[in-house]
Structure 1
Amino acid sequence: MLAGKRILLIIGGGIAAYKSLDLIRRLRERGAAVTPVLTRAAAEFVTPLSVSALAGQKVFTELFDLTDEAEMGHIQLSRSADLIVIAPATADLLAKMAQGRADDLASTLLLATDTEVLAAPAMNVRMWRHPATQRNLAVLRGDGLREVGPNEGDMACGEYGPGRMAEPLEIVAAVEAYFTAGPLTGRHVLVTSGPTHEPIDPVRYIANRSSGAQGTALAAALRDLGARVTFVTGPASVPPPSGVTVVPVETAREMLSAVEAALPADAAIFAAAVADWRVANAGSSKMKKGGGGLQLDFAENPDILATVSAMGAGRPALVVGFAAETDDVLAHATAKRLRKGCDWIVANDVSPATGIMGGRENAVTLITAEGAEDWPRMSKQAVAEKLAARIATVIA
């Protein structure tokens, strides 16, 4: 799929740089030409010799190199690629990009190009969650940065959480998706998915039975049509799709913040099963039995679908909500579309008898201003593909 494609690979300085060696191999076996650029910090983790041997090309490292400037120059180097990939994209590199700094070869290339950039972030979980990093990402997403990962897992530093660089094959899938022309190429679609977890105390929470399977399938189907997908997901039981920007969250309020940070978008699809309420008096330490009952006070969570639907400037052209109901599905979902102000509602019956909640199949009714359209029961992937194709007819 990548035959003849020219990839400029910028390798940042982090322990995940060792994965870039396998990434080069995977890209080249698919026909891509890889021109590698190492930051000075990256050269502490992988050697220019090993990178050059795998890429079959010279490695570029220095901004002020007389020979390189005379032969090609950093401006031409940055513009001769079909796609720029940063793997790993460290917190420092992301900060430089967001601030428009150009104090080394990598940051200068990124500032001097109009070629699209795909970043695979990799850093300590605390660095990833730091407000400064999240502010920088919000700026870069607004500038059109494409992302893949990070994943959640064990860190080299011994901590656990989001911040692991996507695996080489995940990055390759994102690269292939970029070059796959489809009706949604150049469009940005926001998808929410999974449940939210609302804490009772540090060890307990309120949740629902959503697996996130339908939202995940929908994000993948939109990606396959060429869209740039931002995937905001609660703690789902299915892994997120590759080739999309994954933003993990826990609570409804965190999901709203992530959605607002991901805008603008051409379409916003709210497939997440967001908790309507949160515990207002959540404990800061584990609650103990006291011989009596437990009294919990609840507060309403923000209504993410209604908030985005009511936006003036910046509202997506298409806003789609989901309605999981157990009775009077059509009546409740139709009323929900009007109450929330969204364009479409995808309704389904999740009563226990259907086996849909957490299962592999779905049977939905698409409700629009023109009326209701019943779809037959089918796999969640088939539902996703059909809905993605319908979305494409509106925003393509």
Structure 2
Amino acid sequence: MGRFTAFGRAAIRGRAPWAVTAGALSSVGNLLLSLTVARTESIDGLGRFALAFSLYVLATGLSRATVVEAVLADPDPASVPAAAERTVTLGLGCAVLILAGGFATGSAYLVVTAVALPGLMLHDHVKTVGLGLGMPRPACLREALWTASSGVGVLLGLLGVIGPVAVFAVWAGTGALLGWAAAATYRYRITPGWRLDRAESRAAASFGMQFLFTTGSAQLAVAALGASAGMAVVGAVSLGRTALGPATLLVGTASSLIIPYLAGTRAAPGPVRLRAAVRACVLLSGAVLPPAVLVLLLPAGLGAAVFGSNWRHAAPLMPLLALEVLLSGLALVGFAGHRVHGAGFRALLLGGVLGVIRVPVVVAGGLLLGAAGAAVALLLMALLSAVVWGISYAALVRGTRPVGRHRIGTAHRSPPTGKPADPAARRTVSPGSR
């Protein structure tokens, strides 16, 4: 039982509680927004909302990969405020593309997203930098303010005072305003700019492409699914994932606990490290199963009361999507093991291959069988990811010798005698690249 309490000890160390708090506040606001749109929109409108939100997630993730993670890796008084201008530049570029798509498809959700996107990306930039560099309280306060203001919009929407697009505009607008205000408060550069030399720009572009082919492929799959199978398919899958929001949140925040837990066994023999990974899978599954099963046991009437009339489109998909969430947690453990052992190139290769496969598989499932086919495809990809990451981590553990405790993310594979360690082994990729 002592080993099973390692997660509890890890949860109260360092910045993990603040990261979990910020993530929880953000997730509450997003969940309230999604529930309100689901209750007040048609299934096609829900799909348009889901596409817009997915593109927002894709854009902020791209900013983290190309700008924010470089700041956290090598912070200094000059680079931190200057980096914000690159986030603004990326935000404007993405906003132009999304705005064109919004006008072309007549989607008000895309237009609102485009207008607010630079500010939303700045909000995520300032929050992530604050959490990473030891300024968590202001970040959590801004998340609380954003959630509270979103709650006002949600209340007005549920009362019928404003429509679902306006509720979305309140959420996006307040988040954007908080982003601009926070950046100005910290005296960040908020005019468009880049200020990187050619080598640094190439490095930023490579990390951006890495994100798009790995973690970002999930959002690209949503966009491709909407363009090919229709917005109703995206709406049904999106509502199912919204219902599983608490379980998804647990998986999303688990990496901050799993990585130090596995790192604690890095000096142990291979079988001990494998048993630690298995225990992590059991603990995470035990945490994810109760909220997932609770959603599966919802009576049809209660589901419709909570999620609106669109629930009938999502209810048949729930067993498949619940299993997908559970398997994604198992894949996360395997990925975390690669991160702990510094197997950056290996993780990048596996994540890239899985990402390239994910988009056509999900699109094919949606085209063949609609929402049910898309859910089956997502489940198959989650199963494949869990198996691939698990087998790869087991092989990695068997092929490395125990080492002492070093900084997470550095290389630990012992090089052949007389040969230096491969510098590429020190590369890391973003958590969730699976």
Category of TM-score, reference length = shorter chain: under 0.3
Is the radius of gyration larger for structure 1 or structure 2? 1
Give 1 or 2: higher helix fraction. Answer: 2
Give 1 or 2: higher strand fraction. Answer: 1
Higher relative contact order (CA 8 A, sep 6+): 2
TM-score by length of 2: 0.23
TM-score by length of 1: 0.24
